Amino acid sequence: MEPLRAILGEARSVSTPVLEAVGLHKRFGAVIACHDVSVAFDAGELVGVVGPNGAGKTTFVNVVTGYVAPDSGYIKYRGREHSGLTPRTAVTLGIARSFQHPQLYESLTVLENALIALAVKERRHASWRPLKQARALQGASALLERFELGEAADVEVGQLPEGRRKVLDIAMSFALRPSVLLLDEPTSGVSAAEKFALMDTVTGALAEAQMTVLFIEHDMEVVERYARRVLAFVEGRIIADGRSADVLGDARVRELVLGVAEGA
């Protein structure tokens, strides 16, 4: 199953890709979750990632961000090779992610979550000055406003509805101002009515910051509407990569991805 080079169609820019995966391979026991994946992303791209459950989408994100070490292959960031990544080094490079199940500080308020993300970004870990000082509070409020979380600032995260949690999860990664942001199923667990509002908020904020964004998504309407480029994963391989209309129109993708995805 060679990737459909044919429909790569559109000429790629000649400048160095911001992020490139080269021959990433990862196996868990009998399952090959990531099968020789090579793919590149340019600055400012908005890429949708589709595929049935267990196709290796999340594993791809995990490997790229260093949560899982690949068996072979490596990452190139702005043309430089990196192996032995950890989430922390990935973030320091400029590769951040969000999570399918939001990873938040449940016992803290929304504002405090945002403040922590900003404090880490600004490397104020060891400062003895309070976390909540005027300037930091302004920054955090601005961040929350941008993601329309302003009114929820003082709510303890544990009490927050799922949709808001997803947004906060993304906002915290966004606060790091990464060059590449990988969103793992930003709309899963969010009601159908809220999905587009959520994606509008998120993509609006991201577009302003000119980040390269990959988002894993099961809802094809969402993919169609927001992604300009789509990757289709099946059994650990990328079976299609191209303009969203082309990929979503491809017969094999329709059979292997959409058939399963719609049934799921």
Contact residues for other proteins, defined by CB under 8 A: 58, 62, 65, 67, 86-88, 91-92, 96-97, 99-101, 103-108, 112, 115-117, 119-121, 124-133, 172-173, 176, 184
Among residues 8 and 108, whose Cβ is nearest to other proteins? Answer: 108
In the bound complex, what is the minimum distance in angstroms from residue 46's beta carbon to other proteins?
Answer: 21
Among residues 236 and 242, whose Cβ is nearest to other proteins? Answer: 236
- What angle (nearest 5°) sits at the alpha carbon of residue 238, between those of residues 41 and 181? 35
In the bound complex, what is the minimum distance in angstroms from residue 111's beta carbon to other proteins?
Answer: 11
In the bound complex, what is the minimum distance in angstroms from residue 126's beta carbon to other proteins?
Answer: 6
Among residues 106 and 255, whose Cβ is nearest to other proteins? Answer: 106
Among residues 146 and 229, whose Cβ is nearest to other proteins? Answer: 146
How many CA atoms lie within 13 Å of 27's alpha carbon, on the beta-carbon side? 7
In the bound complex, what is the minimum distance in angstroms from residue 243's beta carbon to other proteins?
Answer: 29
- Strands (E) in the chain, as ranges, are 19-28, 31-41, 46-50, 72-77, 80-82, 95-97, 180-184, 212-216, 229-234, 237-243
Among residues 22 and 137, whose Cβ is nearest to other proteins? Answer: 137
In the bound complex, what is the minimum distance in angstroms from residue 209's beta carbon to other proteins?
Answer: 17
- Give the amino acid at 218: H
Give dist(CA 110, CA 108) in Å, integer: 7
Give dist(CA 33, CA 142) in Å, integer: 39
CA 176, 101, 99, 246 torsion-angle sign: negative
Among residues 5 and 129, whose Cβ is nearest to other proteins? Answer: 129
Contact 231, 39 (CB under 8 A): yes
H or E element at residue 208: helix 192-209
H or E element at residue 139: helix 134-146
Contact 141, 150 (CB under 8 A): yes
Question: Which single residue is written with the structure tokens 């559109």?
Answer: 10
Question: Which single residue is written with the structure tokens 């094999």?
Answer: 252
In the bound complex, what is the minimum distance in angstroms from residue 204's beta carbon to other proteins?
Answer: 23
In the bound complex, what is the minimum distance in angstroms from residue 194's beta carbon to other proteins?
Answer: 23
Contact 182, 64 (CB under 8 A): yes
Among residues 132 and 228, whose Cβ is nearest to other proteins? Answer: 132
